[in-house]
Structure 1
Amino acid sequence: MIGFELKFGGTLGNLVFDLKVVSIRDNNTSSLTFGQSFKRHLVDILDIWFFGLLGILLIKNTKYNQRLGDLWAKTIVIDSTDSEQFYKRFV
């Protein structure tokens, strides 16, 4: 998953739904790093614990709809076909 995310900007499931993972770190690039992708997927098991309750609660209650892995890695998942999204300030 990490390699696929680094090469294509998202996992196969993300790409099917035109989603892309971008970095929101303070540097001037939206490119995902190996460390960010690793962090995102290291806590996947916590995000899906108890029927995904933790992930759902975080997505619904964070400013940029991030799950735990995204918060730790400083990334967001965006709709790559929507040019009006707020993420444009990070790209």
Structure 2
Amino acid sequence: MKKPLATLGQRILAWIVDLIIIGIIAGILGGLAFGSIFLGALTANPFAAVFGVTTLLVMFIVIFGYTIYFEGTRQGQTVGKMVMKIRVVDDKTRKYITMEQSVIRNILRIIDNQVIGLVGVILIAVTEKKQRLGDILAKTVVVKA
């Protein structure tokens, strides 16, 4: 039996939870990075500058890797999706998605998040299976867990 599709509201609330988590992590790493770069510039300490740049790179990996990792390895659920009791599944099999599907659907957030996320929201609201562009091309749907 197919599980019902997640509502737009559930998806938005899950994304807000995830953004809070990503924001906290990015804030900590960003503070470390810029503090180290600034300290390195003030003291001419190359180690501090290298540490700062490395931390900045880690921050970007965390930001872009968070949803890819969780959806691809954690049964289609980020922390936000766990809280909202929804998950991403393969559109045909309704089983957990592959890492490849996770990468495709999350890279396309670049398009879905245009105009403060309205592109994705509009697509979810008007498509039969409540899919944003990333879901359509990755062949995934978001369902109630």
Structure 1 length-normalised TM = 0.77
Residue 113 of structure 2 corresponds to 48
Local SS of the residue matching 2:143: strand
Compare 13-22 and 28-37 and name the one that shifted more.
Answer: 28-37
Q: Structure 1 residue 34: deviation in Å?
A: 1.0
Q: Distance in 2 between matches of 1:30 and 1:23?
A: 5
Structure (1 or 2) with the greater helix fraction:
2
Q: Distance in 2 between matches of 1:7 and 1:71?
A: 20
Higher RCO, Cα 8 Å, sep 6+: 1
User: What is the identity, as a one-letter code, of the residue corresponding to 1:71?
Assistant: I
Structure 2 length-normalised TM = 0.50
CA deviation vs aligned residue, 1:15-72 (integer Å, no higher than 9, x gap): 11001110014xx561211110000100112111102111111011111100110001
Between the two proteins, the alignment pairs up a number of residues equal to: 78
Structure 1's unaligned 5+ residue stretches are: 81-91
Which has the larger Rg?
Answer: 2
Structure (1 or 2) with the greater strand fraction:
1
Matched, 1:62 2:116: no
